[in-house]
Amino acid sequence: MSALDGLDAFALSLWLLRIAFLAGLYLFLLGVGRMLLRDLRVASATTPGELGRLVVVGSFEGGPPVGASFPLDAVTTVGRDVNNTIAVDDPFVSTDHAVLTFRGRGWYLEDLQSTNGTYLNGAPVIGVAPLGFGDEVQIGQLRVRLDRPRPVRAA
């Protein structure tokens, strides 16, 4: 106690209170920071089950119903041939009609020199076209919209 004799006990406890308040602020931030880190780790660790989905917005006699949706792989081919990822039984669709690829951060659409062409928002696709969520693609008589993947439920 002798070391403390020279100190005013009140001043000391006041100083401790001040520091405790500041420490509390940082304890709070530390807690928040840990939660944010955990949240980000979980988000980066769980790869989404799908990268996007195609929703049918316009169909034809005997085609998939409007509103049906197809989860997409990183490379999704569309055509009349049954070996395509999405096989469309439509006479206006070529055997190997178009391919959708996910490269890095976004989707791209390529027409595989089909007879009737592939249309992106009404414009014919020449070469490889970047494809955004909400864009409409027409393949033969089938019209599909690229939608965001369904959010993954957090564990």
Residues that bind other proteins (CB under 8 A): 10, 13-15, 17-22, 24-29, 31-32, 35-36, 39, 43, 56-59, 61-71, 82, 84-89, 121, 132-135, 143, 148, 151, 153-154
Question: What is the spatial distance between Cα 5 and Cα 24, in angstroms, rounded to a whole number?
Answer: 29
User: Residue 6 or residue 151: which is nearer to other proteins going by CB?
Assistant: 151
> Do the beta carbons of residue 147 and residue 69 sit within 8 Å?
yes
Q: Which is nearer to other proteins, 56 or 112 (CB)?
A: 56
**Which one, 36 or 75, has the nearer CB to other proteins?**
36
Q: How far is the CB of 121 from other proteins (least distance, A)?
A: 7
Min dist CB 113 to other proteins, Å, is: 22
Distances in whole angstroms, Cα of residue 24 to Cα of each of 11, 18, 80:
20, 10, 65
Which residue, 19 or 126, is less far from other proteins as judged by CB? 19
The minimum distance between CB 123 and other proteins, in angstroms, equals 10
Element (H, E) at 37: helix 9-45
* d(C-alpha 125, C-alpha 96), whole Å: 15
CA-wise closest residue to 126 among 114, 142, 144: 114
In the complex, least distance from residue 44 CB atom to other proteins, rounded to whole angstroms: 12
Residue 26 or 115: which CB sits closer to other proteins? 26
Beta strands 75-79 and 86-87 are parallel
